[in-house]
Amino acid sequence: MKKKRLIPILLLRNGWLVQSKEFSRYQNLGNPETATLRLSQWASDELIFLDISRNDIYDLRRDDLGCANRHTFLEIIENISKVVFMPMTVGGKIKSLFDIEKRLSVGADKVSINTQLFNDEKIIQKSANEFGSQCIVASIDVKKENGKYFVYSNGGQKREDYLPIDWAKKVESLGAGEILLNSIDRDGMKTGYDIELIKGISDVVSIPVIAAGGVGEWSHFGQVLSETKVDAVAAANIFQYSDQSVYLAKKYLYEHNFNVRPPDLLEI
């Protein structure tokens, strides 16, 4: 039986690794390269690296951090790929097949696309034909309003005319190989996943669904694995605040008989 994956999400904003809350409040956590090395050592199954910068400024303007300043997102990804020992998905500012090719060429194994899907729905078909569906992840951000779920783009700024279930079915039909499903309402809130939302999506599509948004304790991973059909659980903030966090999360799941890989620590 295929193992369930545990995937840290790293959010990059103007060169800094940041904590996010409801897609609107951000706190700097440090250098993304240092965090990536730790997450690799703690044996993450995969990594998701998302650029949420509003502009193209990535230089940290700091020379005292032990890492060279980078001037582009691609430079950061290329450097990070040297310390990553598991598959890495890269997302943010992807508008064309050329953008996808550039990210794959500097070390990404998969790409995550969100806003451009609404500007050019055929980008999924074109990129799946060019690179294979297995490396195309459709990112779906969802917010609940007056008891109803809506899909958002542009970093949670624009509401689209799609219900999440309809949009999930559509990206699957267009050739996406995987869905990254994130709840804007739960982002950074530590109250647990939106089980209703995740179950609704994972029940109607055949491609893998990665659940994200709201983790505050290890049991939240267990809850969504128990109550939905997701293939992977992902989180951002919780993995940044304790030593060996991925190892400890996986240890919790393994000891509670979830179908995950045994916990391990890598010597790098």
pLDDT at 268: 47
Name residue 42's amino acid.
W
Q: What is the pTM of this model?
A: 0.92
Beta bridge partners of 179: 138, 209
Question: Mean pLDDT score of the chain, rounded to an integer?
Answer: 90
- At residue 265's C-alpha, the angle toward residues 264 and 267, to 5°, is 140
Residue spans of the domains in the chain: they are: 5-255
Where does 5-255 sit in CATH, by number?
3.20.20.70
Name residue 49's amino acid.
F
The pLDDT confidence band at residue 40, using thresholds 50, 70 and 90, is confident
Which residue is listed with tokens 């904590």? 19
Rounded Cα–Cα distance for residues 69 and 63 (Å) = 7
Instruction: Write the pLDDT tens digit of every residue in 143-177.
Output: 999 999 999 999 999 999 999 999 999 999 999 99
Whether 60 shows a pLDDT value over 80: the answer reads no
Instruction: Write the pLDDT tens digit of every residue in 232-245.
Output: 999 988 988 777 89
Report the pLDDT averaged over residues 28-48: 85
